[in-house]
């Protein structure tokens, strides 16, 4: 093979992955771009066919309408309450559970870990009806608590398995030294363990928050009152019987994605480290 041919093959091997990644990136960013440009169009242009790929009648009125003349700010607040409460409870419970099972094991502790995994393997959609019936019996239907409980079911077992390796790899000597110095077991957890494995806990928090923020089916089924709906369900406000206000709907959808995008950009390193460490060891 000639040197020119070798150089051509080497260049092809280098370029091909980047071309593939570029195509995938375009496909992934396409819906976000389309949502953004639709949100910057007047309604007449938003429903025009053939569509315009760059807004001709550029306007911010859809955002103004969404933020000042619609319940979207309330929907965003509801989503934030559900996501933050779920994240706090899940992270706190997962840290305590994993610490207890890994540092103070007993005969059935491995079975408990396996039980958490088995519970999460069950398709969540198949449990929506049982959840609905149980929540209705205890009077929690049409409350934020119903969505929080369901989302906790989705994220709690996963969080435990993500944290499992962090706790297993933590040096026992540090905990023993803290206990010898007079620190309680809870003190050893809060003062010694948590600061060291903060990356893993942050990864769990990020995933729990994002999962809670984007949940749709549970609030759609469990909540009927408009004032309690999160943004994922509340966007139906812009879908009328005769007209869908696509520009306002797109503006609301783009505002709904911003917290998740910003959260992910600043915390992506924690997600990567948490996933690789949390599932890299059995």
* pLDDT digit string, tens, across residues 170-182: 788 888 787 887 7
User: What is the percent of the chain with per-residue pLDDT over 70, rounded to a whole number?
Assistant: 88
Confidence category of residue 282, pLDDT binned at 50, 70, 90 = very low
Domain edges within the chain: 3-39, 62-279
Residue 6: per-residue pLDDT: 47
The mean pLDDT value of the chain amounts to 83
Q: Is the pLDDT of residue 25 over 70?
A: yes
131-170 CB burial, b ≥16 within 10 A, e <16: bbeebeeeebbeebbbbbbbbbbbbbbbbbbbbbbbbeeb
What does the pLDDT average to over 164-168? 82
Q: What does the pLDDT look like over 37-81, one tens digit per residue?
A: 888 888 888 888 888 888 888 888 889 989 998 899 999 999 999
Which CATH superfamily includes the segment(s) 62-279? MetI-like (1.10.3720.10)
pLDDT 10s digits, 72-120: 999 999 999 999 999 999 999 999 888 888 888 788 778 888 888 888 7
* pLDDT tens for each residue of 1-21: 555 554 455 545 566 677 777
């Amino acid at each position: 093979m000639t040197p020119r041919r070798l150089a051509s093959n080497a260049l092809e091997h280098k370029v091909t992955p980047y071309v593939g990644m570029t195509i995938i990136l375009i496909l992934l960013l396409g819906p976000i771009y389309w949502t953004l440009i639709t949100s910057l169009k007047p309604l007449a242009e938003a429903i025009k066919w053939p569509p315009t790929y760059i807004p001709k009648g550029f306007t911010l009125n859809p955002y103004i309408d969404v933020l000042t003349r619609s319940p979207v700010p309330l929907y965003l607040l509801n989503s934030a309450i559900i996501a933050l409460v779920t994240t706090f409870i899940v992270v706190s419970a997962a840290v305590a559970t994993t610490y207890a099972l890994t540092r103070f094991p007993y005969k059935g502790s491995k079975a408990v870990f396996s039980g958490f995994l088995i519970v999460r393997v069950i398709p969540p959609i198949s449990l929506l009806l049982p959840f609905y019936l149980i929540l209705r019996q205890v009077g929690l239907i049409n409350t934020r608590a119903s969505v929080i409980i369901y989302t906790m079911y989705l994220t709690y077992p996963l969080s435990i398995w993500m944290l499992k390796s962090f706790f297993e790899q933590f040096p026992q000597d540090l905990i023993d030294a803290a206990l010898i110095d007079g620190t309680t077991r809870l003190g050893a957890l809060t003062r010694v363990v948590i600061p060291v494995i903060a990356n893993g806990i942050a990864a769990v928090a990020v995933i729990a928050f994002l999962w809670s923020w984007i949940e749709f089916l549970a609030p759609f089924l469990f909540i009927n009152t408009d004032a309690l709906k999160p943004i994922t369900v509340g966007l139906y406000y812009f879908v009328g019987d005769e007209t869908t206000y696509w520009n306002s709907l797109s503006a609301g959808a783009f505002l709904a994605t911003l917290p998740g995008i910003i959260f992910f950009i600043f915390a992506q390193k924690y997600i990567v480290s948490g996933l690789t460490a949390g599932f890299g060891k059995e």
